[in-house]
Amino acid sequence: MTIRCLFFALVFLSAALSVDAQPQTSETAVRVLREIGGRDFSCTTDSGVMTKAGFEKLISDKQCADLKSKLNVDFEKESLIGFRAGSDCHMQASAKVFQNDAAKKYVVKVDVKYGGCRAAGNYQGWLVVEKLKPGYTVEFTERNLKKIYTEWLEKDVTYFPAKPSAENLETKQIDLKGCIQTNVVNEFVIKTQYQYLKSLRKDAGNYWCVQNLAPIDFEKYSLLGIGMTTDYCTVPRGLEYKLSKDAENKQYLFSVSYLQAEQLCRRLGHYDLWLLVPKLEEDYSVKFDLQERPN
């Protein structure tokens, strides 16, 4: 009986050691603190982690100067990751970062949604995360969601899921008559009159916009805007939006979603959504979350 017990003990120990010897492939999601991105960005770079010196060189270009205020990177505590993906002129893309301590690496997973446009296009994105661990490598993976996009929507979650404690804020939709163009930069957080006037179109339509748009009291309100290139010719069906305030993380979440189009519009579909919201607090970040819901 003793020999039999000893045999099973040795078998169990051998199995346990075998399991421990297997490489751990579990990954944990890294929280994205801030991000911006869009198609046909005037300021682009290859996928990778950017150093402080590299970023300062990048923003020395006038076309890239506004990245400094939009990303607001503290390189002592944070890291900046850029990613670039190519597809078509209606494409959408998003990225998430995962940490694998066993392999000492970070994986940036980029999801690309084919938009059905015949012309080529690209997407440039920037992610600000907590400082990456020294000695870890960073790799990028990409998958095309042309066939599995609906499945991805059903299983995926946003970077900042809604919390029960989050406070929903009152918003008012306004029409800016195309006076702020969103075909290059498609996410806007405007808190001052100076930012507002600077964001107005720079072509011959600027004078009309300055003279005819209703004034905004930036002492009481802020302006949020998002440009959406969709499969619709006009307003996306089932458009829903809300702004919530997460005091715990000092963050506003601007959530926008619409129903998947049943057929593709023959021309380029672009829609601007502008919201007048209560004055945003200076030490809060703003997260944009755009989703296409399956029918």
Q: What is the pLDDT of residue 38?
A: 78
CA distance 204 to 209: 10
The residue with tokens 């296009």 is: 121
CA distance 178 to 180: 5
More confident residue, 1 or 136: 136
pLDDT per residue as tens digits for the range 64-74: 888 888 899 99
Phi/psi for 137 (5° steps) reads -90, 160
CA distance 152 to 161: 16
Asked if residue 188 lies in contact with residue 226, where contact means CB atoms within 8 angstroms, the answer is yes
* C-alpha triplet 98, 74, 101: angle, nearest 5°: 25
Model confidence at 161, pLDDT cuts 50, 70, 90, reads very low
Q: What is the pLDDT of residue 4?
A: 55
How is residue 281 annotated by DSSP?
P
- Spell out a b/e string for 234-262, using b for 16 or more CB atoms within 10 Å of the CB, else e: eebeebebebbbbeebebbbbbbbbebbe
pLDDT per residue as tens digits for the range 237-286: 888 999 999 888 899 999 998 888 877 777 667 889 999 999 999 999 99
Asked if residue 221 lies in contact with residue 279, where contact means CB atoms within 8 angstroms, the answer is yes
CA distance 292 to 149: 9
Which helix (H) or strand (E) segment holds residue 19: the answer is: helix 2-21
Tokens of 179: 């006076």
How far are the Cα atoms of 235, 236, 239, 289 from residue 258, in angstroms, in the given order?
9, 6, 4, 12
Asked if residue 169 lies in contact with residue 133, where contact means CB atoms within 8 angstroms, the answer is no
pLDDT beyond 70 at 182: yes
- The residues, ordered by sequence, that sit 6+ positions from 213 with a Cβ below 8 Å of its Cβ are 176, 177, 179
